[in-house]
Amino acid sequence: MIQYQHIHDTIEIVNNSVVGFELFRTFTDEPRSVEDFLSYCQSVAKIEVNDHPNHTHTGALPRGMFIPFDDGHYEIVILPGQKYCWKRFVLCKELFHVLIDVNDKQKIFINRDVDSHIEQYMDKSNGLPNTPQNVQAETLAEIAAMEFLFPYAHRLEQLTSPSEKLAHKYMIPKALVEKYILTHYMDGLNPDTIEAALINQEEPNA
């Protein structure tokens, strides 16, 4: 049976974050300010953001990373040399890594099979069988960042709009716009689909 709990928990974190973000928001128009989002996240956890001192993004390395420390603070490292839309997305994604970690002190994601959901809906070409926990977390953080920067409801209303226009409007990478308006991504991240799946899993004979 497909487990949707990971996705549900992640979207719930996004929704809660949007409520807090609105208190820090300085501009009401799209795109959402990642700088304002950072201010909100820094009210939740101690977070430092720095450019990587030695490496520049060339396509062969990760674009960014988050580092949790034993004392409870976090460092986010962004590789310089990226276009503005990618830097916005990477910072947002790494901030969601932090928020997921803050919300995961009881290890709510461990031993829940997110792989089957990702395999069926997120990557039909390859699937992600036996995905390591860190890869799952990366996928969840990406989903969270896209849901924050380009919410499902906005995607649904603009499916026929040119991806270049949407990328400019929301200031996110065109490749990610095109990825998240694919039919199987829209189906897989449909809130009604997720809620229905969770209800079915709770039924005794499901």
More confident residue, 104 or 173: 173
pLDDT of residue 145: 98
Whether 154 shows a pLDDT value over 80: the answer reads yes
* Strand bridging mode 47-51 / 74-78: parallel
| CA gap 158, 88 in Å, rounded | 21
Contact 201, 1 (CB under 8 A): yes
| CA gap 138, 66 in Å, rounded | 11
Q: 173-198: buried (b, 16+ CB within 10 Å) or exposed (e) per residue?
A: beebbeebbeeebbebbeeeebeebe
Whether 88 shows a pLDDT value over 80: the answer reads yes
pLDDT of residue 27: 83
Whether 115 shows a pLDDT value over 50: the answer reads no
pLDDT of residue 23: 94
Task: Give me the percent of the chain exceeding a pLDDT of 90.
Answer: 65
pLDDT of residue 127: 39
